[in-house]
Amino acid sequence: MGKKTKDLFAAFVIGNGVLDLVAPRERYMMWVFGPQGLRKLILWLADHPTAVRLRSIVRIGIGLSLALKQYEEQKHEPVEEPGPRFRRWFK
């Protein structure tokens, strides 16, 4: 995966974790659809907000670790000083 893709994925995971943390029942009740097995799972999650909040804390942690790992890798790469615009265009 590219760096931008990893960054977007980390932001997506963190964002979903925060939304689940803030309003777990409302968020899952909005997504009741699909086959009966999926509906049962969604309704179970909606009825157990503590489980959803614990899951969201794990998701936020995973997203942060992905982002921080990527940023740590980026620190070790040499950074080119931006020169005049025409030099950057014709590399």
pLDDT tens, 56-70? 999 999 999 998 888
Q: Is the C-alpha dihedral spanning 9, 15, 18, 20 positive or negative?
A: negative
Q: What is the predicted pLDDT for the residue at 82?
A: 62
User: Model pTM?
Assistant: 0.71
Q: What is the predicted pLDDT for the residue at 87?
A: 60
20, 76 contact by CB (below 8 A): no
Average pLDDT in the chain: 86
Distance CA 65, CA 22 (A): 21
Residue 27 has pLDDT above 70, yes or no: yes
DSSP 59-82: HHHHHHHHHHHHHHHHHTS--PPP
- 46-60 mean pLDDT: 96
